[in-house]
Amino acid sequence: MKTYNEEKLRERAGELLPEVVELRRKFHRNPELGMEEYETAREVARYLRDAGLEVQTGVGGTGVVGVLRGSESGRTIALRADMDALSIEEDTGAEYASEIPGKMHACGHDAHTANLMGTARLLSEVTEGGKLLRGNVKFLFQPAEEGPGGAEPMIEDGALESPDVDAVLGLHVNSERETGTILLKEGVLTAATDSAVIDVIGSGGHGAHPQSAVDSVVVAAHVVTALQTVVSREIAPTDSAVVTVGKITGGFRNNVIAPSVQMEATIRSLDPELRTSLRDAVERVVAGVTQSMRADYALEYNFGYPSIHNDEGMTDLVGEVAGQLLGEDAVVYASQPSMGGEDFSYFASEVPGCFFRLGVRDEEKELGVYPAHNPKFDLDESAMEYGMVVMAAAALIYLGKTEDE
């Protein structure tokens, strides 16, 4: 059931694409880390005001909320994008490469932001500033998805209120999918992303006299090995979990036994009960190994983003819209969730939501051939046209239906 002019929507999205590409490149040249997105937020706010939207800034830190109010009362749908970059030195060689040393949009958030800005203008124009719109569309430009997390602070700051949001959509670029396609999955989509900081505490000494010390480096090595048995020997093969020690620091020089070593780990899971038991298992292993080797430990365990759970109805809506606009073959349904994490989960925990992947890979252009978080990551910018039309059409169809449809 269509409640929009498909031809008009497609045509205007195509016309807006060059403008949206320039926005994306401006953000790419000037990346900002989480809760530092001041210039990005200013650009977003200015653009939304020019598009005729109500704008609120400083939401949950550096977040921006835009509202397109319809002339008729109805439901409210929110569309979300994240704005932050990563602490990565860019190595793409692109003419629009980052101009800020050590910072890069290596996960596509620049494209998410530009895409949603274009979607806001597109919806404002095709609804004549909301005159042809029943209900409202809220545009959530979120800081700090890569950490420390911006969705929860935005919610606490009222981003889903006044008007109250009834549903939410979000997208993420995907370099494993070709441009012109999207990836969908109902139910659990991503993993919970927890973390641990583990201090292994021994006693220092001379490297030539290990009997007079407790070597924290050796103890830490045993802890890393033992932690791998949590997943391989304590969790059913049919369940999914990850325990990865990604950072180890300690020691002074080759002939000094280090008094302590610090390790940082990511712990990921899909099941809430398993998530709790993993925390207990990690501490039990660390305590057991350190005690058996005459050392001590300190553990800081942090529960991070929960899993995204895609609502059945909202997932069906996006699939229907994308099938109409891109073709049925362009809509791919994932059979398994990803062990990656996303704090869109906080929005989807508050209201029914759908988070989908937008294909940005074009091997002929040599774009989208490197994965996210790679220094060479780039994407096919033409994919943003598809992102705009799918988001805009899904919002229009959602608002055009009655609550019981």
DSSP 313: H
Report the chain's terminal Cα–Cα distance, integer Å.
11
pLDDT > 80? residue 294: yes
The pLDDT of residue 405 is 55
The pLDDT of residue 402 is 55
Same domain, 265 and 283: yes
The pLDDT of residue 401 is 72
Query: Which domain-ending residue is among 243, 275, 305?
Result: 305
pLDDT > 90? residue 354: yes
Same domain, 203 and 177: no
Q: Which of 156, 118, 193, 188 is nearest to 355 (CA)?
A: 188
3-class DSSP state of 352: coil
Partners of residue 76 on adjacent β-strands: 136
Identify whether 405 is part of a domain: no
Which residues participate in catalysis according to the annotation?
A: 84, 145
Distances (CA, A) of 131 to 71, 128, 227, 249: 5, 5, 59, 59
Percent of the chain, pLDDT > 70? 98
Identify whether 227 is part of a domain: yes
**CATH code, domain with 352:** 3.40.630.10
Same domain, 168 and 292: no
Distances (CA, A) of 233 to 10, 204, 247, 275, 339: 52, 33, 23, 16, 19
Identify whether 174 is part of a domain: yes
pLDDT band, residue 3 (cuts 50/70/90): low
- Domain of 110 in residue numbering reads as 6-190+307-400
| CB neighbours of residue 306 within 10 Å | 20
Mean predicted lDDT score pLDDT of the chain: 96
Mean pLDDT confidence for 186-209: 98
pTM value is: 0.94
Percent of the chain, pLDDT > 90? 97
**CATH code, domain with 264:** 3.30.70.360
Query: Which domain-ending residue is among 276, 305, 334?
Result: 305
Same domain, 320 and 219: no
Same domain, 367 and 317: yes
The pLDDT of residue 403 is 57
Query: Which domain-ending residue is among 305, 337, 360?
Result: 305
Same domain, 23 and 150: yes
Partners of residue 65 on adjacent β-strands: 56, 140
Number of domains comprising the chain: 2
